[in-house]
Structure 1
């Protein structure tokens, strides 16, 4: 069976591209990532269908639930204007689950394979940049490698290897459908992206200011490493550079991934190896939507703890003095009580009692 073109891209969830917004891109995107996996000994491939707006998963479907389900509260707003949204998309995802099973069989023939673990992925989506320019992508992968992708400008398919040429010949012949896909990516997709952004604006369009701190650690070779830690920011896009004397510095610079916090914000780090004698020349330069202006942060000598230590010692001495005073006071009070008690007892016996016989 030839690898089919798939259903026409007419619904808002027909998007896929498992990449985050690039740092500093100031764009919003909608993507879907569809995967089918055939494992040895299993009759039916595993299947998943996951949708994203920016970096937030908002809908999903898998072979276990077999339902198109919401992943965030704000997507429920779609039901007001589109009451058939969930049922329609559930049927659509179920159709792709069946078709992907056939695709895997066809691809195994193309690559002359029999059995084994294989994956087929469908990825496409669109983005709306800060300058209102638009972007779109539509591609497939087999076993983790590029298989075929759409060139929107020429309305032709780009095959990644010889087996993919089989699919390219079939899909290039349907020029009208390729035009339709381009229109979808550049118009319909963007319209739905804007609608979703409006539904989830409280979370998707918010900005959380990054916190920037530079620390240092000594290295074994007499050098030291300055570490710029940046956390608590949203959206995910962020530009971080080390500068020396105001110029971007790339030598001996290392960076971590932008990773999520439990509260929905992100954190990351950049480090640079420097000569301790020149550390004041280096600054961490950060640009982010949550900052009104870029910030440049240098390492600063921590405040001395001498004052704190002296204060603690004085406080302890005062406490000891107070406790000693209290102890002396109670001791004197007890001694006075005993003396008074003995005198009172003798007076009372003489004045009211009878003579003691001898």
Structure 2
């Protein structure tokens, strides 16, 4: 990083005025960074009721070395529980709300966040060109990604992460236990040495993630309580799939639920099929809710014996769902059989009438004026 000394005088003021987003610590005197770090470490969670469930706050920063048409040089997006709530685009150069519950925040907050993101845009731009140099790249479009955040689980335990990527690949991550930078690739060792020149920056990141980040998460949950602490039950459906080799898979779908935490399991009688089941990670459904599924392979004609169990905070009991054959399946089959029978009957009748007419009249079968030929044609049609 370059020395962003002009930001250091602003840093302490911003931290005191609005402990919401991530302040900037430039590569200035380590003593000043340690002062800010100490202030962050002193931030404690207020003793307020926790809304329950698992909640998270995380940010994604993206910087481009040479952005193409329509692309920003720097982009920052903040998420609470996977829902975007703040957005900064260097082309607009203003931090803006992304969630309705953020619109009521005062103008001072948005001014503060705008200044922070402007500063981070400069820092990450320097980082981008520096890492490009480590890769012997002096031009072209390249990117760095910084992602970090914290989480509070329903049992009160917390966790945090801090990662840095280059061109979409892992580059460095921060081990919060040892306060060491972990390089994902050999070339990242040079970045690791660069960042380890001042241990206080790793200490600062840890202080932010375990102090200010959690405090901010609490406050955002207060602002968006109606949206972020709501409970929406899952819509559950079991589908049946046949593979090319004839094997049958039952998939238990859960969609449209909130909050994120959910448990899906497959049972056969009194036995839970832990090893046999396949699971996917819960993911956003695109409308502020979540979706996921669990699948299990089953023997043919044994589908009805397998039961999907669903547990979610919006439900006061365990929901059990089994696969059901579509009710219209037998109706459709009967219709097909009836149509085939009718067509067969008409063809046989037509052939018999044709043979009878030809044997009695002795006329050529192609005589279109014969009444029997007309009758035959009508039957065939």
Output the TM-score relative to the length of structure 1.
0.71
Aligned to 1:76: 103
Backbone CA RMSD of aligned residues: 3.3
Cα distance in structure 2, aligned partners of 1:227 and 1:60: 37
64, 73, 92: which is aligned to 1:37? 64
Give runs of ≥4 in structure 1 deviating > 6 Å.
1-9, 304-307
Cα distance in structure 2, aligned partners of 1:180 and 1:305: 64
Aligned to 2:136: 112
For residues 30-52 of structure 1, the C-alpha deviation after alignment (integer angstroms, 9 at most, x for no partner) is 0110001234878x962210000
Whether contact under 8 Å (1:39, 1:117) holds in the other structure is yes
Change (3 A) 1:224 1:137: closer
After superposition, where does 1:260-271 map in structure 2 within 5 Å?
Answer: 260-262=285-287, 264-271=288-295
Aligned to 1:12: 20
Change (3 A) 1:291 1:2: same
Cα distance in structure 1, aligned partners of 2:277 and 2:56: 33
| SS of equivalent residue, structure 2 residue 128 | helix
Matched residue count: 293
Cα distance in structure 1, aligned partners of 2:327 and 2:63: 57
After superposition, where does 1:1-358 map in structure 2 within 5 Å?
Answer: 10=15, 11-14=19-22, 26-39=53-66, 46-79=73-106, 83-217=107-241, 222-245=246-269, 246-251=271-276, 253=278, 258-262=283-287, 264-301=288-325
Give the structure with higher Rg (CA). Answer: 1
Whether contact under 8 Å (1:226, 1:299) holds in the other structure is yes
Q: Which has the larger displacement, 240-249 or 90-99?
A: 240-249
Cα distance in structure 2, aligned partners of 1:70 and 1:40: 24
Whether contact under 8 Å (1:3, 1:103) holds in the other structure is no
| SS of equivalent residue, structure 1 residue 162 | coil
- Residue 280 of structure 1, CA deviation: 2.9
Change (3 A) 1:146 1:87: same
Whether contact under 8 Å (1:34, 1:122) holds in the other structure is yes
| SS of equivalent residue, structure 1 residue 277 | coil
Change (3 A) 1:40 1:30: closer
Whether contact under 8 Å (2:65, 2:129) holds in the other structure is no
For residues 240-268 of structure 1, the C-alpha deviation after alignment (integer angstroms, 9 at most, x for no partner) is 23233332254474758634154x33334
Cα distance in structure 1, aligned partners of 2:237 and 2:76: 39
Change (3 A) 1:106 1:269: same
Whether contact under 8 Å (1:14, 1:32) holds in the other structure is no
- Residue 115 of structure 1, CA deviation: 2.0
Cα distance in structure 1, aligned partners of 2:93 and 2:3: 23
Aligned to 2:41: none
Cα distance in structure 1, aligned partners of 2:153 and 2:103: 26
Cα distance in structure 1, aligned partners of 2:193 and 2:137: 21
Change (3 A) 1:45 1:162: farther
- Residue 208 of structure 1, CA deviation: 0.5
- Residue 196 of structure 1, CA deviation: 0.3
Mind listing any 5+ residue stretches in structure 1 that lack a counterpart? 16-24, 308-358
Cα distance in structure 1, aligned partners of 2:177 and 2:227: 34
Change (3 A) 1:284 1:175: same
Change (3 A) 1:295 1:252: closer
Mind listing any 5+ residue stretches in structure 2 that lack a counterpart? 24-51, 332-381
Cα distance in structure 2, aligned partners of 1:141 and 1:103: 11
Cα distance in structure 2, aligned partners of 1:163 and 1:223: 46
Q: Which has the larger displacement, 272-281 or 247-256?
A: 247-256
Cα distance in structure 1, aligned partners of 2:195 and 2:112: 26
